[in-house]
Amino acid sequence: MSVTAFTGDDELRRQEALEAAAKRWETEGDGGAVVREVHHGEELNAAAVAESYQTADLFAPRKLLILRNFDKVRAEGRELLQAAFRSDNPQVAVLLEAEKLDARQSWVQGLKKAGRLFDFKLPYGEKIPDWLAERARRVHGRALSLADARLLHEIVGNDTAELDHELEKLDTFLPKGAPITAEAIHDVVSPLRVHTVFEFQKAAGRRDMAAFLPALRSLLVEQGGRESGIGPVILLFNHYLRLARLRALIDEGASRQEILSASRINPFLFDKDGYMEQARTRSLARWKKVLARLAALEREMKQGRYARRFEIEAALAGVALG
C-alpha cells in the first residue's frame, strides 16, 4: 500500500509534516514531472480517486494524491479507496491526513506497523509558551521571552495553528529582527478580543461600572448571541484569584519585584493595567468572599438559573462591582 497517513489534533504540525513528505516524494527519482492532485473530505469522489490511482497520467510519469480530512470521507468511499490502495503502484504516492483514524481497522494497523502512520498531538498547555518561544526563534528568527509567550498563549489559546498565524502577523508588522514583546502582542494580536477581555477584567478589578457593562456585553456578543454568562464568570474568577494572591503578598509586605515574580503576570500588563491598584480595592477576606460567590454563580448558571441577558448582566455586575 503506497499510503502514508498524518493524524492528530495538532493541525499545524500535521499539515507541515504532510507538505514536507510531499516535497520529498516530488524530488525523488529521476526528477521527472509529477502531477499533484488534492481532494477534500466530504467532497471527495472516491471512484474518481481510485481510478486516478490506478491510471497513469498522460503528461507525467509520477503522481501524488493528497487526501485531506480523510475522516470526513463517507464510509463507503473509504472502503472503496482502501481496496484500490491494496494494489501497490510505485508511480503513485498517497498522502492522507485526518484528525483521527480508527486504530482498530486492519489497514490503519498496517500503516502503523510499516512506519507510515504519523500522529501529532497538541502540546500540553504548560508546554505551549516554550513551543512559542522556540518557533519564533526557529521559523521567524525573533526573540520571544517566556513571559511574553505566556501572554500570547493566554490571549489566543491552545490551538497551534492559530498561535502560528498570530506569530506570522507579528513577524509581518514588526521591524526586521526586532523581538516580539508584550507591547507588540497587545497591539497586533487579535486586537478586538484582547481589548475586550483585558478591559472587562480591568474594569471589574477597579470596580468601574461605566467600563464594566460595555465590556461584558461585548464578551456576550462574542459568544454568537447565546445567552450564557459562564465564559465571563470564568474569566472573572481567574482574574480575581490573581488579585487575591496579589493582595495576600501585599499584606505580607512583599516587594514589587517579589510580587511580580510570584504572580507570573506579564510585566507590561502588570504596570499598564495597574494590578497592584486593583488588588488593593478589596481586603483579602473580601476577595475570598467574592471568589466563593463567583464559584456559586457559575454553578447556578450551569443549572440554567439565569435565562435572559439582563439577568446575567445584573448577576455579574452585582458580584464584580459590589
Model confidence, pTM: 0.57
| pLDDT tens column, 78-110 | 999 999 998 888 889 999 999 999 888 888 998
CB 59 within 8 A of CB 23: no
| pLDDT tens column, 184-238 | 887 787 655 555 777 888 889 998 888 888 888 877 775 544 556 788 888 889 8
Task: At 55, list the grid cell.
Answer: 491510471
Q: Do strands 62-68 and 117-119 pair parallel, antiparallel, or not at all (unpaired)?
A: unpaired
CATH number for the domain harbouring residue 14: 3.40.50.300
Are 169 and 104 part of one and the same domain? no
User: Please, which residues have CB within 8 angstroms of residue 118's CB and are 6 or more apart in sequence?
Assistant: 4, 5, 6, 7, 17
CATH number for the domain harbouring residue 138: 1.10.8.60
**Coil, helix or strand at residue 171:** helix
Q: Which of 281, 272, 211, 212 is nearest to 246 (CA)?
A: 281
CATH number for the domain harbouring residue 196: 1.20.272.10
Which structural domain, as residue segments, surrounds residue 294? 192-321
CB 28 within 8 A of CB 57: no
Are 16 and 102 part of one and the same domain? yes
How many domains, in total, are found in the chain? 3
Name the percent of the chain lying above pLDDT 90: 39
- The stretches in the chain having pLDDT less than 50 are 1, 224-225
CB 54 within 8 A of CB 89: yes
pLDDT at 272: 83
Are 35 and 107 part of one and the same domain? yes
